[in-house]
Amino acid sequence: MTHCHGAPDEIRLTGSFHKRKDEATAFRNKRSRSMQRAGQMLLASLLALSLAACATQPAPDLTPPPGKRLDAKTTLESGRR
């Protein structure tokens, strides 16, 4: 191998190096996109959970409980029916 830039073996090594570098960059970009997608899904899930937690609750039942049932003696004495 010579140190001259015009040598064929260096051109072949340089081309091979760039090909591997491009493949590594493509792999990192693909992994980066998948991590970005996972982060987006996590944020969307957290947003959905927070909205569900803050959703309006059903109104509480404000009707009074039924009155105390009077026994037969009290009903006869008070005249209620």
Q: Which residue has the higher pLDDT, 34 or 15?
A: 34
Tell me the domain boundaries of the chain. Answer: 1-54
Q: What pLDDT shows up at residue 42?
A: 96
Instruction: Take residue 68 and report the two structure tokens written for it.
Output: 């105390």
* pTM, two decimal places: 0.41
From 61, 58, 57, 79, select the one nearest 70 (Cα to Cα): 79
pLDDT single digits (tens) 43-80? 999 999 988 888 777 788 888 888 888 888 888 888 76
Within 10 Å of residue 10's Cβ, how many Cβ atoms? 14
Q: What is the DSSP letter of 4?
A: -
